[in-house]
Structure 1
Amino acid sequence: MLRIERATHDAIVAHARRDHPDEACGVVAGPEGSDRPVRFIPMLNAARSPTFYEFDSADLLQLYKELEANDEEPVVIYHSHTATEAYPSRTDIAYAQEPNAHYVLVSTRSEDETEFRSFRILDGEVTEEPVEVVEPDA
C-alpha cells in the first residue's frame, strides 16, 4: 500500500495538469528503507512528448547524487498519461528499474476527473496497490 500525504498527492496531480498535454514526470524521495514518500521532486520530461516521458540524464545523475548524500531513495516514481488510463504501458514496465519504488500514474485525459493509481513493477510483473491519502501526522 502506498501511504502518501495529501500535499504530495496534490503536488503530483498539479504537476501532471500543468504539463498537459505533455507527460509530466518526477520522484518523491524518502529516507532509505522507510517506504515514506517525503520530498517531492518534479522533473523535466526531456522528451517533451504527450505519449512518452524521459528523465534528462544530467538531471537524473544530479538526483541520484542528492539521494545518496541525503541517505534517501526514490520511494515514488511518477508520470502522467495524457490520453489513456493510469496504467503502466509496455514501455513503462520495461523502464521500471527501482524494485522498491511505488510507480504512480496519473491520467489527465479528463478535465473533470483525475485517475491516481500506484503499482509495484518487479521483473516485468505489474501489481496494482491501494493508495491511502493521509493528512500530515496521520
Structure 2
Amino acid sequence: MLTIDQATYDAIIAHAKRDHPDEACGIVAGPEGSDRPERFIEMVNAAGSPTFYEFDSTDLLQLYKEMDANDEEPVIVYHSHTATEAYPSRTDIGLAMEPNAHYVLVSTREHSNDEGPVEFRSYRIVDGNVTEEEISIVATLS
C-alpha cells in the first residue's frame, strides 16, 4: 500500500494538469528504507511528448547524487498519461528500474488541465511484473 500525504498527492495532480497535453514526470524521495514519500521533486519531461516521458539525464544524475548525500531513495516515481488510462505501458514497465518504488500514474485524459477529477493509481513494478496497490491519502505523514 502507498501512504501519501494530501499535499504531495495534490502536487502530483497539479503538475500533471499543468503539463498537459505533454506527460509530466517526477520523483518523491524519502529516507532510505522508510517507504515515506517526503520530498516532492518535479522533473522536466526531456521528451516534451504527449505519449512518452523521459527524465533529463543530467537532472536525474544530480538528483541521485542529492538523494545519496541525504540517505534518500525514490519512494514514488510518477508520470502522467494524457490520452490513456493510468496503467503502465510496455515502455513504462521496461523503464521501471526501482524495485522498491511505488510507480504512480495520473491520467488527465478526461478533463485535461481543466477542473475535474483525474485517475490516480499506484503500482509496484518488479522484473516486468505489474501489481496495482491501494493508496491511502492522509493529512500528514506521522
Measured against the shorter chain, the TM-score band is: over 0.9
Contact 2:4-2:141 within 8 A present in 1 as well:
no
Cα displacement string for residues 33-89 of structure 1 (whole angstroms, at most 9, x for unaligned residues):
000000000000000000000000000000000000000000000000000000000
Distance 1:132 1:113 in 2: 17
Cα contact 2:80–2:105 (8 A) shared by 1: yes
In 1, Cα distance between equivalents of 2:62 and 2:53: 18
Tell me how far 1:137 sits from its aligned partner: 4.5
Equivalent runs, 1:1-138 vs 2, <5 Å:
1-111=1-111, 112-137=116-141
SS at match of 1:60: helix
CA distance, structure 2, for counterparts of residue 40 and residue 113 of structure 1: 21
Taking only aligned residues, the RMSD between alpha carbons, in angstroms, comes to 0.7
Q: Which runs of 4+ in 1 moved over 6 A?
A: none
Q: Distance in 1 between matches of 2:123 and 2:72?
A: 20
Query: For residues 109 and 61 of structure 1, what CA distance do their matches in structure 2 show?
Result: 31
Residue 17 (structure 1) shift: 0.2
Count of matched residue pairs: 138
TM-score, reference length from structure 2 = 0.96
Distance 1:69 1:88, change over 3 A: same
Distance 2:137 2:125 in 1: 21
- Identical amino acids, percent of aligned pairs: 75
Which runs of 5 or more residues in structure 1 are unaligned? Answer: none
